[in-house]
Amino acid sequence: MNFFNAIAVGLKEIWANKFRSLLTMLGIILGVSSLVAMSALVKGMENGMKAALIAIGGLEKVRVEEQDIPVWQQHMADQAVGTTMNDVHALLHSAPLITMVVPEMRTRNITMTRGGKSISPWNFIGTWPNAVDLNQHVVAHGRMFNEIDDENARNVCVIGTAVRDALFGSPEQVGREVIPIGEFVNINNQRFKIIGMFDRYESEQDRKSRELQKDKPVEPKTGPERSKGFGSGKGSKGGGMSGGFVYDLKNNTVYIPLNTMWLRFRAATGVSGAGSGSYSRSSGTSAGSTSGSTAEFVPDPRLSTLSIKVANIDQMDEALQQAKNVLMHSHKGIEDFSFRTQENWSEDIGTAIKNYRMSGGIISAISLLVGGIGIMNIMLASITERVREIGIRKAVGATFIDVFTQILVESVVIAIIGGVAGLFTSNVLVQILIKLSPTGNTPVITVESMVLAFAFSVAVGVLAGLFPAFKAAKLNPIQALRYE
């Protein structure tokens, strides 16, 4: 009996017992769709985590941080220079594997006030204009300060939406989006003009819940205004792994020009670095001439951090080695710095996703297995019903292989039909999941998961069919013919 014949016979048999076959397939359908839906959920989660990783600058971003001087160099501790603008220029000139260098100067104890409102931003940073690129900021309104602002140390700032919310009121409170471009605020009692505002950064999850909130009527307040305790902020964050804090941190940012930072907030102590305070990468003479207005101050050339961008992630190790070599020169050979990459976080995401996938996969695989047991059960019942038929087939010349193939094909055909139906169902299921839970990351169906689920269902069909097929093929024709 050839193969197509066997499939035709199998289909006929399934069609003859429509309802029973449908019930049997249901196990496979549910198994396949749960496998695909689970994988879609995990994929959505992965996308959310990766988006958070990219929001802080992606894998290419590496921070150069200060580090305690190693023990064997302790005797040179007083010679250590720390991270300075010299490093920035050295890296820019001598490390071709590094495409971008951004110096950052942070200041704590900053209070921004306007009217009766105040905020202490988490990130108050003096930096270069290219910080926007490196940290993946989007200037939604106004503009980022440019090199001229930096050169002239103008009192301008670019703020995140959380700062706007605190000083001008959030869109939820005011009822409309306040765009405070051109407004003035006081930063530690110095007048600063807001020239730009970043986009509102939030995870997809938060955006969705906010949009959902917008449609709902405001719940009437019960009792007096009060804080409801830790973690009961406006939007409940989806736990550490979803990376919600990254977005909060990013929204709570104020950028001012690096020179302004030095002049207004840092100009007290430190070694004079001629021209090193200037943004200009050109020669010392031009730097000297442009920085004339700042000459009377003695800026502190030390930086709090230095962020670099690696040209190519695949050359991460080489680039870091190159950066280290350059920095060792500008640090007099004292290793008082270290590199901090996002590789760890990326690996954490990888492990977490692997774990989710594993546990979800096992659960769905079990449900598929149950479906397979259902098939085996039905096939066993079916061959018991058809003992006589098998006897007849054997009497007219069916061999062991013929009967074996027939039963196996039947079981596999059930599994294949169930698998295909399951793939359709999974799409419906995922659509329902998207509708049901607007919060959380949008599930994404992947082709790999569909292929995997289908292959798995076929394998289950084969496994489930083996035993009944063997049992049927082993039947003694004489006894099978006598069977009533």
Partner 1 sequence: MALIELRGVSKIYHLGGEEIRALDNVDLDINGGEFISIIGPSGSGKSTLMHILGCLDSPTRGSIKLDGTEIASASAREQARIRNQKIGFVFQFFNLLPKLNVLQNVELPMVYAGCSARERRERAMAALKLVEMDNRAKHRPMQLSGGQQQRAAIARALVNSPKIVFADEPTGNLDSHTGETILRLFHELSLQGRTIALVTHDPEIAAVTPRKIEIRDGKIAQNVDAKLSGQRDGPKFDVGDRQNLTP
Size of residue set near partner 1 by CB under 8 A = 23
CB of 405 to partner 1, least distance (A): 11
Q: Is residue 398 a contact point for partner 1 (CB under 8 A)?
A: yes
CB of 473 to partner 1, least distance (A): 10
CB of 421 to partner 1, least distance (A): 24
CB of 21 to partner 1, least distance (A): 14
Calpha distance 68→92 (Å, rounded): 25
Among 56, 171, 402, 420, binds partner 1 (CB under 8 A): 402
CB of 25 to partner 1, least distance (A): 20
Q: What is the per-residue burial (b if ≥16 Cβ within 10 Å, else e) of 3-19?
A: eeebbebbbebbeeeee
Sequence-ordered list of residues with C-beta below 8 angstroms from that of 138, at least 6 positions apart, any chain: 132, 198, 199
Which span sits near partner 1 by CB under 8 A: 50-58, 160-168, 362-370, 396-404?
396-404
Q: Is residue 470 a contact point for partner 1 (CB under 8 A)?
A: no
Q: Is residue 20 a contact point for partner 1 (CB under 8 A)?
A: no
Residue number with CB closer to partner 1 (13 or 336): 13
CB of 403 to partner 1, least distance (A): 10
In degrees and rounded to multiples of 5, residue 159 shows phi and psi of -115, 160
Q: Is residue 1 a contact point for partner 1 (CB under 8 A)?
A: yes
Residue number with CB closer to partner 1 (6 or 158): 6
Sequence-ordered list of residues with C-beta below 8 angstroms from that of 2, at least 6 positions apart, any chain: none
Residue number with CB closer to partner 1 (332 or 388): 388
Among 26, 370, 373, 481, binds partner 1 (CB under 8 A): 481
Q: Is residue 394 a contact point for partner 1 (CB under 8 A)?
A: yes
Query: Going residue by residue from 418 to 457, which x/- string records binding to partner 1, judged by CB under 8 A?
Result: ----------------------------------------
In degrees and rounded to multiples of 5, residue 73 shows phi and psi of -115, 10
Which span sits near partner 1 by CB under 8 A: 29-37, 84-92, 336-344, 476-484?
476-484
Tell me how crowded residue 454 is: count the other CB atoms within 10 A of its CB. Answer: 20
Calpha distance 395→393 (Å, rounded): 5
CB of 8 to partner 1, least distance (A): 10
CB of 481 to partner 1, least distance (A): 7
CB of 2 to partner 1, least distance (A): 7
Calpha distance 480→388 (Å, rounded): 5
Closest CA to 346 of 431, 251, 243, 220: 243
Residue number with CB closer to partner 1 (187 or 408): 408
Closest CA to 160 of 176, 137, 177, 129: 137
Which span sits near partner 1 by CB under 8 A: 1-9, 112-120, 190-198, 281-289?
1-9
Among 211, 233, 388, 455, binds partner 1 (CB under 8 A): 388
- The answer to whether the CB of 157 falls within 8 A of the CB of 192 is yes
- The answer to whether the CB of 32 falls within 8 A of the CB of 457 is yes
Do β-strands 337-340 and 253-257 pair in parallel, antiparallel, or remain unpaired? unpaired
Sequence-ordered list of residues with C-beta below 8 angstroms from that of 171, at least 6 positions apart, any chain: 177, 178
- Residue 17 token pair: 């017992």
Tell me how crowded residue 430 is: count the other CB atoms within 10 A of its CB. Answer: 21
Which residues in this chain contact partner 1 in the complex, by CB under 8 A? 1-2, 5, 12-13, 16, 388-389, 391-402, 477-478, 481
